[in-house]
Structure 1
Amino acid sequence: MNSNRIYAYLRASTKDQNAERARQDLQEFATSNGVAISAWFIENESGASLARPELMKLLDIAQSGDVLLVEQVDRLSRLNAEDWEKLTGMIKGKGVRVVALDLPTSHMMVNSGDEFTTRMMQALNSMMLDMLAAIARKDHQDRKRRQAQGIKLAKAEGKFKGRQIDTGLHERVLKLRDAGWSYTEIQKATNVARTTISRIIKTNLKNIHDNII
């Protein structure tokens, strides 16, 4: 049985996304490998930035041999090369083993093995992580470029209206809240972050107040 701790890290890019979406997948992976997740670290921060308080908190308390468990490598990084080097330097410096569900070569790292096997798998895992991190960064840059091109074209054609409100989601959240549902129940039903639910409810209350005035 693995005596080291397993720390699960969940991240989504925006407050409108549910960072806990992959919680069940990580839990099932841990269970199938006979280990328990010691703590969950969850945040809504961009993967293209190192300014991630929960990830830094995880690395601060982690000790050599502990596992950083993520759903996908891009949950850990969409960083540029310089920042990725800084992050991997912190991870290696602490002796933390990264296990990602989308990186099969990392799965055996969830349990301690003999020294030779562990070192060989760490070397292979490090190379694969670098490759996937580079791919995630390119995907991030490509999507940003396509988005900018789309906005530029829409503006040129006079069709750009900015980010549109999802009225259907707003109505559903408000109906569930009016029915007495808790934030947690609404979150599970709509798969959106609590901050989004709170903003929708506060915006509705403000509109009601403004109409009364």
Structure 2
Amino acid sequence: MFIRAYLRASTDEQDAGRARTALEKFASDQNKVIACEYLENARGATADRPELLRLLKDARKGDVLLVESIDRLSRLPVEDWQKLKAAIDSKGLRIVALDLPTSHQGIQDTKGDEFTSRMLGAINSMLVEMMAAIARKDYEQRRERQAQGIEKAKAAGKYQGRPVNADLHKRVTELLEAGLGIRATARHADCSSTTVLRIRDAARQ
């Protein structure tokens, strides 16, 4: 059994590896070892996540996709989530989330009778879908509250926008001009590939 752990944080300021200890402990409690780790800073509401795409490319049938929670995997709109879920299913990956006990059977070697296994699989699939929908709803509500807060701050003349990290922008631009690729630039600048792309695109405008 090959266990692939996916760790994600939404911004460069957050620690994407924060959940590593919890994931490793969970695997150890099941007498398993995480064989490969995919870590990135990217919003769960975007489908453009290089490390998740690399995980899907590397995956083989029967592998386990281990996450802290379903919202680390997706806060996507329903259409994008369905595409991602179809890609996961087509690879034969088993989603195991720490906060979804019905998924834990996917990391265990023991097999019950076929009927029980299929029933648990169906229940788990339904709950994964439900938690993905909840994660998206939570994202939309937080965005709405954030927009309302910004509008209120603008009306009061207090909104200044998000500060730009000038040093990071300069570093990324220099690395790209030196001929480094997106992932290499992200690694040397200590930021996400998404941030590199955003800075590159902004410089082209």
- Give the TM-score of the pair, scaled to structure 2: 0.76
What SS does structure 1 have at the residue aligned with 2:12?
coil
Letter in 2 for 1:64: K
How far residue 120 of structure 1 moved from its aligned partner, in angstroms, is 2.5
Alignment partners' CA distance in 2, 1:54 and 1:149: 33
**2:11 counterpart (7, 14, 19):** 14
Contact 1:11 1:42 in 2 (8 A): yes
Aligned pairs for 1:132-143 within 5 A? 132-143=131-142
Alignment partners' CA distance in 1, 2:24 and 2:136: 27
**1:27 counterpart (18, 24, 33):** 24
Letter in 2 for 1:40: E
Runs of at least 5 residues in structure 2 that lack an aligned partner in the other structure: 165-188, 193-205
How much identity, in percent, do the aligned residues show? 54
Contact 1:10 1:75 in 2 (8 A): yes
How far residue 194 of structure 1 moved from its aligned partner, in angstroms, is 4.7
What SS does structure 2 have at the residue aligned with 1:20?
coil
1:58 and 2:55 aligned: yes
Two-structure CA RMSD over aligned residues (Å) = 1.8
Alignment partners' CA distance in 2, 1:12 and 1:48: 12
How far residue 118 of structure 1 moved from its aligned partner, in angstroms, is 3.4
**1:49 counterpart (40, 46, 50):** 46
In the other structure, the counterpart of 2:66 is 69
What SS does structure 2 have at the residue aligned with 1:68?
strand
In the other structure, the counterpart of 1:148 is 147
Alignment partners' CA distance in 1, 2:113 and 2:12: 42
Runs of at least 5 residues in structure 1 that lack an aligned partner in the other structure: 166-192, 197-213
Letter in 2 for 1:143: R
Contact 1:109 1:121 in 2 (8 A): no
Size of the aligned set, in residue pairs, is: 166
Aligned pairs for 1:89-100 within 5 A? 89-100=86-97
Letter in 2 for 1:47: G
Give the 3 Å change call, closer, same or farther, for CA 70–154 of structure 1 in structure 2: same
- Give the TM-score of the pair, scaled to structure 1: 0.74
**1:36 counterpart (22, 33, 37):** 33
In the other structure, the counterpart of 2:178 is none
In the other structure, the counterpart of 1:174 is none
Alignment partners' CA distance in 1, 2:86 and 2:59: 14
How far residue 58 of structure 1 moved from its aligned partner, in angstroms, is 0.9
Contact 1:109 1:118 in 2 (8 A): no
Contact 1:16 1:195 in 2 (8 A): no
Letter in 2 for 1:72: S
Alignment partners' CA distance in 1, 2:82 and 2:5: 21
Mean Cα deviation higher: 109-118 or 148-157: 109-118
